[in-house]
Amino acid sequence: EDQVTQSPEALRLQEGESSSLNCSYTVSGLRGLFWYRQDPGKGPEFLFTLYSAGEEKEKERLKATLTKKESFLHITAPKPEDSATYLCAVQAMEYGNKLVFGAGTILRVKS
């Protein structure tokens, strides 16, 4: 059973069409939830850390939120340059200091 599940697998948006990506987790003893962006042929790039339910973080057109069971990455008025794979990862007591990554959501924004 997957501990970290991301949905949808792929998302196509028109430029300016806001939407959300989901990351649900079933781990116990969450220490932190992390969002990364990965461009083709590159390594993942850190975006946000969330530690507790109710916490929110923002960066440009992106806002990440956290509940006890899931996290959302909201993308407001996306631009083509926001096209990438977005990965979430959890750090939990049951895994020590390791990050467990989800499979990612491939986002394509068309102009």
Partner 1 sequence: DAGVIQSPRHEVTEMGQEVTLRCKPISGHNSLFWYRQTMMRGLELLIYFNNNVPIDDSGMPEDRFSAKMPNASFSTLKIQPSEPRDSAVYFCASSFSGITGELFFGEGSRLTVL
> Residues in the site for partner 1, rule: CB under 8 A?
31-32, 34, 41-46, 49, 87, 89, 91, 96-99, 101-104
Which residue lies nearer to partner 1 by CB, 46 or 52?
Answer: 46
Which residue lies nearer to partner 1 by CB, 41 or 54?
Answer: 41
Which residue lies nearer to partner 1 by CB, 61 or 103?
Answer: 103
Question: CA–CA separation, 72 vs 64, rounded Å?
Answer: 6
Give the residue carrying structure tokens 């916490």: 55
CB of 2 to partner 1, least distance (A): 10
Q: Across the beta sheet with 62-66, what order do the strands follow?
A: 4-7, 19-25, 70-75, 62-66, 56-59
CB of 65 to partner 1, least distance (A): 17
